[in-house]
Amino acid sequence: MFNIKTIPSFSLMTAGSLDWLTTVIGIAYFGAVEGNPFMAQLTSSNLLAYSLIKLATTIVVGYIFYKAEKILMTADNQSSRAFKFTRIGLRATYVGATIALLAAVINNIFVVTQAI
């Protein structure tokens, strides 16, 4: 169920969920606005729809990363250079996406604390 291979996907989904939560709190209680121009209009008109889209996207992306890692680990020649570069690329993408989401969470917390 939960093992070392699921940690990157779990951390990505956790960071995405925290981004959603801090965004919704900021919008609903402190008058903050969504920084993503594609979602900003939706947050001002339908916060529930925004929440559903944001959380569904977070879950789907986390699942895709999980499946990519699982498929990659079934490769026949795991000592090849191509395998190693692909695995490094996948892990770098995990880390980059998680860091970007955590930066958004920190920004959201900063915005909310400035409004208090």
The whole model's pTM is what? 0.89
By C-alpha distance, which of 71, 87, 99, 72 is closest to 12? 99
Q: How do residues 35-51 score in pLDDT, each as one tens digit?
A: 989 899 999 899 999 99
**Could you give the CA distance from residue 86 to residue 90 in angstroms, rounded to a whole number?**
6
Which residue is associated with the tokens 């529930």?
48
Report the pLDDT value the prediction gives residue 6, as an integer from 0 to 100.
Answer: 75
Say if residue 8's pLDDT is above 90.
no
Question: Per-residue b/e over 85-98, b at no fewer than 16 CB within 10 Å?
Answer: eeeeeeeeebeebb
Residue-wise pLDDT for 52-97, tens only, equals 999 999 999 999 999 999 999 999 999 999 999 999 999 999 999 9
What share of the chain has pLDDT > 90, as a percent? 85
**Cα–Cα distance measured from residue 40 to residue 43, given in angstroms and rounded to the nearest whole number:** 5
